[in-house]
Amino acid sequence: MALRNTALALASVGLRPNVPSIFCSLLASRSFASVETGYLYAKSHEWAKVDGDVATVGISDHAQAELGDVVYVELPDIGKTFSAGETFGVVESVKAASDVYAPISGEVLEVNSELKDKPATINADPYKSGWIMKVKVTNKGDLSKLLDAKAYEKRNRALSSESSACWAIQNLSREE
């Protein structure tokens, strides 16, 4: 469906609707990133699993796939407080240090110290053993701004189509 729509979009701006194979694989790989029901997701691809006043936080399967092999995680200090949307740590992969953002406001109660020696756990199991921190939630209103699994998945598919179409237009227009 996404491929067909993109082909139509390309044709409408006078470009050949031939879709390079890499474009297809880009769409395919993003479409298969998993989501976990019962979790809430930020648009910046972090997740929060709330249990009473405590939320466990990590990054989504989509994020770990895009980042590549994680080689280092900078964990926050216990006791530190963050507002929703604030940088709480850094994940290093493929020579890049990428900020990760608190999906909700809270105080850090615990960090996943396993990630110090095994940072690739985030790639292998982003929703369970790859958790990054646990926080005491200080503003439950933040939860209403997060997406449930279905909405997050739908958003990712839409962004993936848009991004791949952008790429295709950029590269096809070079060939013209």
Three-state DSSP state, 157: helix
Report how many residues bind another protein under the rule CB under 8 A: 23
For residue 47, give both structure tokens.
């997740």
The angle that helices 21-31 and 2-12 make with each other, rounded to 10 degrees, is 140
Site string for another protein, 124-163 (x = CB under 8 A): ---------------------------------------x
Site string for another protein, 88-127 (x = CB under 8 A): --x-xxxxxxxx-x--------------------------
Q: Is 8 in the site for another protein (CB under 8 A)?
A: no
**Could you give the angle at the alpha carbon of 76 between the alpha carbons of 73 and 141, nearest 5°?**
115
DSSP 72-96: EEEPPPTT-EE-TTSEEEEEEETTE
Nearest residue (CB) to another protein, 39 versus 101: 101
Binding site for another protein (CB under 8 A): 44, 66-68, 71-72, 74, 87, 90, 92-99, 101, 163, 166-167, 169-170
